[in-house]
Chain A
């Protein structure tokens, strides 16, 4: 009896260790080696052509098999005295939120009607560049995104392939913390999601953030604010922009409830003329490596997008 008891205990302990080791090794072997996701094409918008067969319709159609985050960046916030909107790139002319709404819907029409297999998170982009970065514009931008999302899911719903959010290229040198926070708070008062496609210029590990911003402010605009999800610009080939965003992620871990997960990387290889900045996979790899070299910030970055100047 004594011998059988001893045998039982020893067997239990051995079995547990063997089982644990087996489970551990299975877990370890199940951890995938991530490869860079296929990059989508985002655009600096120089037009809001919403005609059938026009620019936006054609772009949506041409991208119907792309899956992931796509940003249509419509430029700096503007108010013409009656309507909020933007000054778009290239022509430097005003487009109201209604003009932009029509353009984005036509892009989504093209994406749907061309019948590809892609599933898109389309983000309607503005920036915090100068003057009209304020609460009213933030509200108008959230309402714009929400109207289009409601249009997508209205019968017949296209929700299986299309989702729309907002985006804001919030760059530290383009505006003050207070103006940028006002825009965010205006957006948040309406609700929805925006992707922060901006920067963390000058922040750790390279010193203090530019233009009076703090790491807390950068954390807030990219993740701390309820609507914010980070899609940082990772363009410097020396990896410095990835290091700045790794530090933002780590700041979330050390000062808040957790590291800041990176949703996507935004490169500008095409906009820079296929030269001198990170290619999409390179930018993604820099960011992926930076956050995954530290267990505190480890996360797999699901998306990659590259922005072009062509329309």
Chain B
């Protein structure tokens, strides 16, 4: 090979290397920034999959190996605690009341809205006694932004509540009426 050809080969080689580097750079960046961590099991991120249905002969239950206690009755009345099936960003509850009203489990939570802690709120949720049917959440806001509500007393299905300023409210569970005083 002549000197001229060797030079051409060198130029070509350099062009090849540079091109490869240019092409490889985005890949390297992508790999470096890919959301993976060596400490994690990335199989968790595998796509959902299905399998062939289990043959009938293999559809046999396993013994549980543990025994659960009989389920206790639902609590009734005022309950100190605001756990509810709503995110904190929606509602922050102080406490709750529950009973069977009109043949349905009825949970009543008192507190404030998550995005405005000055806005008092009551939320009611009903569940059939077999737990299979649920109502939509019913939301009642205080007319003025005077802080979070707290249930202080219950007579039958009539609840007394107080807000952060000490103002009192009455909530009639059966009629879903919230009134000041």
Whether, in the assembled complex, B2 has its beta carbon less than 8 Å from a beta carbon of chain A, the answer is: yes
A193 with B54: CB separation less than 8 A: no
Q: Which of A2, A17, A199, A297 contacts B19 (CB 8 A)?
A: A17
Q: How far is the CB of B84 from chain A (nearest CB, A)?
A: 8
Question: In the complex, A244→B127 CA distance in Å?
Answer: 32
| B interface size (C-beta, 8 A) | 75
Q: Which of B48, B54, B71, B89 contacts A48 (CB 8 A)?
A: B71
Question: In the complex, A226→B37 CA distance in Å?
Answer: 10
Q: Which residues of A contact B89 (CB under 8 A)?
A: 171, 173, 199, 201, 236, 241
Binding site for A on B (CB under 8 A): 1-2, 4-5, 8-9, 11-12, 15-16, 19, 23, 30, 33-37, 39-41, 44-56, 58-62, 64-69, 71-75, 79, 81, 83-90, 92, 96, 98, 105, 107, 114, 125, 127, 131-137
Whether, in the assembled complex, A38 has its beta carbon less than 8 Å from a beta carbon of chain B, the answer is: yes
Question: In the complex, A13→B15 CA distance in Å?
Answer: 7
| A interface size (C-beta, 8 A) | 105
Q: How far is the CB of B2 from chain A (nearest CB, A)?
A: 6
Binding site for B on A (CB under 8 A): 1-2, 5-6, 9-10, 12-13, 16-17, 20, 24, 37-38, 44, 46-50, 52, 55, 65, 67-68, 73, 75-76, 87, 89-96, 98-99, 101-103, 105-106, 109, 112-119, 121, 127, 129-130, 151, 154, 156, 158, 160-161, 171-174, 193, 199, 201, 210, 223, 226, 229, 233, 235-236, 241, 249, 252-253, 257-261, 263, 268, 271-275, 295-299, 302-303, 307-311
A2 with B131: CB separation less than 8 A: no
A115 with B44: CB separation less than 8 A: no
Question: In the complex, A175→B49 CA distance in Å?
Answer: 36
B35 with A252: CB separation less than 8 A: yes
